[in-house]
Structure 1
Amino acid sequence: MTAREGNEHRPPATTTRKQQGDHAEGVAARYLASRGVTIIDRNVFSRGGEIDLIGRDGQTLVFFEVRYRKQGGLTDGAGSIGWRKQQRVLRAASWYLHRHGLWNHDCRIDVIAIAPGDTHKYKIHWIRNAIQA
Structure 2
Amino acid sequence: MHLRGQPFEEQAERLLQCHGLSILERNYSARTGEIDIIATEGDVLVFVEVRARSHRRFGGAAKSVDKKKQRRLILTAQHYLQRHNRGKDRRCRFDVIAFEPRQSEAGRPVHWFRGAFTAEQGNTYQ
Q: What interval of TM-score do these two structures reach, taking the shorter chain for normalisation? A: 0.7 to 0.9
Would you say 1:111 and 2:96 are equivalent positions? yes
Q: CA deviation at 1:120?
A: 4.5
Would you say 1:42 and 2:50 are equivalent positions? no
Whole-angstrom distance in 1 between the partners of 2:114 and 2:105: 25
Whole-angstrom distance in 2 between the partners of 1:49 and 1:85: 9
Unaligned runs of 5+ in 1: 1-16
Identity %: 38
Cα deviation 1:2-25 (Å, max 9, x = unaligned): xxxxxxxxxxxxxxx812211110
Whole-angstrom distance in 2 between the partners of 1:54 and 1:103: 13
**Which of 24, 29, 38 in structure 1 is aligned with 2:13?**
29
Matched residue type, 1:115 = E
The equivalent residue for 1:5 is: none
Cα deviation 1:64-106 (Å, max 9, x = unaligned): 0000011444311110112111111000000001111113211
Query: Structure 1 residues 18, 99: CA separation in 2 closer, same or farther (over 3 Å shift)?
Result: same
Relative contact order (C-alpha < 8 Å, sep 6+): which is higher? 1
Whole-angstrom distance in 2 between the partners of 1:29 and 1:80: 20
The equivalent residue for 1:93 is: 77
Instruction: After TM superposition, list the pairs within 5 Å mapping 1:115-126 onto structure 2.
Output: 115-117=100-102, 118=104, 120-126=106-112
Unaligned runs of 5+ in 2: 120-126
The secondary structure found in structure 2 opposite 1:122 is coil
**Which of 33, 52, 62 in structure 2 is aligned with 1:78?**
62
**C-alpha contact (below 8 Å) 2:60/2:101 kept by paired residues:** no
How many residue pairs match? The answer is: 117
